[in-house]
Structure 1
Amino acid sequence: MTTKQKIIIGSLETITLPDLAITDIQVRVDTGAKTSSLHVDNIKKFKKNGKVMVRFDLHPDVYNLENMVSCEAPIHDIRRVKSSNGTAEQRYVISTLVKLGSELWPIEITLTDRSDMSYLMLFGREAIGERFLIDPSKAFVNS
């Protein structure tokens, strides 16, 4: 039996979400979070060709809030999520591709307001899966 070598990642990385046309977004790698979460604004549920969708805006560059990207994606699920401060909320969940280094795979992302957080996205343990090992003393290893 062959075992695939796991890739080392740091506590911070830069990813791409190609389905959403988002490149070079900095994420906080967080094994305490089950699902990844993304800071978005103006979340609107709608139907398109019979599919239930969600439309949202995000600012991929925290240093340039004038740069805004509008996205839409099918709603994969709606979940009750408890945040790190202990409050729970219903969140839309989308399924989308993520690229980190040379790896490309589908992940689930919850959409929420993370405006009071330092990073626009948390990269949770379901996204990390069995692909990576985390070295918390490093950052941007695969960026």
Structure 2
Amino acid sequence: MSQKIMVGVVESIALPSLKLANIATRIDTGAKTSALHVDHIVVDDAQRIVHFEFHPDFHDIKKTIKCSAPLHDRRWIKSSNGEREQRCVIKTQATLGASLSWDIEITLTDRSSMNHLMLLGREAMEGVVIVDPEAHFLASERSPEPDPE
């Protein structure tokens, strides 16, 4: 990728292969890995597939989207509160705005205590984006879902 895109600290990202759109995502240069808030993770080790549920709305936990993806890896991740947990890692396409798509690795975890359903870490940003820490939604439109921040 020859030219980096300027983004704010919150952007709306889609994960089209998972059929997930308008995910209010915290852009976090302090985090190494990206993370997606999911529930009910079930790994089919024989098929190397992980099944999980995504809640697109913080305010309606009954609304879920069932997803499946090839299991890329399992890794020990140290969270922002210092706790280590083993997480499933998937590789998927991320889309930002009308013209930017690239492959990212994303860990699956419970982010219910966080303000955003997804976190984009620096490994997924390398060579792709530059972050303006004063801005929100520079490269994408604000999600129609209420921003819990």
> What TM-score bracket applies, with the shorter chain setting the length?
over 0.9
**Deviating more after overlay: 23-32 vs 4-13:** 4-13
| Match in the other structure for 2:94 | 98
Amino acid at match of 1:128: M
**Deviating more after overlay: 55-64 vs 97-106:** 55-64
SS across alignment from 1:117: coil
| Match in the other structure for 2:81 | 85
**The one of 136, 140, 148 aligned to 1:139:** 136
| Match in the other structure for 2:27 | 29
Alignment of 1:39-54 (within 5 A): 39-47=37-45, 51-54=47-50
CA offsets 1:33-56 (integer angstroms, 9 cap, x no match):
111001100000115xx5211100
The gaps in structure 1 that reach 5 residues or longer are none
Tell me the TM-score normalized by structure 1: 0.92
Aligned equivalents of 1:121, 1:115: Cα separation in 2: 10
Aligned equivalents of 2:4, 2:111: Cα separation in 1: 30
Tell me the TM-score normalized by structure 2: 0.89
Amino acid at match of 1:63: H
Percent sequence identity is: 50
CA contact (8 A) 1:25 1:61 kept: no
Stretches (4+) displaced over 6 A: none
CA offsets 1:62-97 (integer angstroms, 9 cap, x no match):
233332100001110000000010000000000000
| Match in the other structure for 1:58 | 54
Higher strand share: 1
Aligned equivalents of 2:115, 2:24: Cα separation in 1: 10
What is the aligned-residue RMSD (CA, Å)? 1.3
Aligned equivalents of 1:72, 1:6: Cα separation in 2: 30
Amino acid at match of 1:6: K
How far did residue 5 of structure 1 move? 2.8
| Match in the other structure for 1:67 | 63
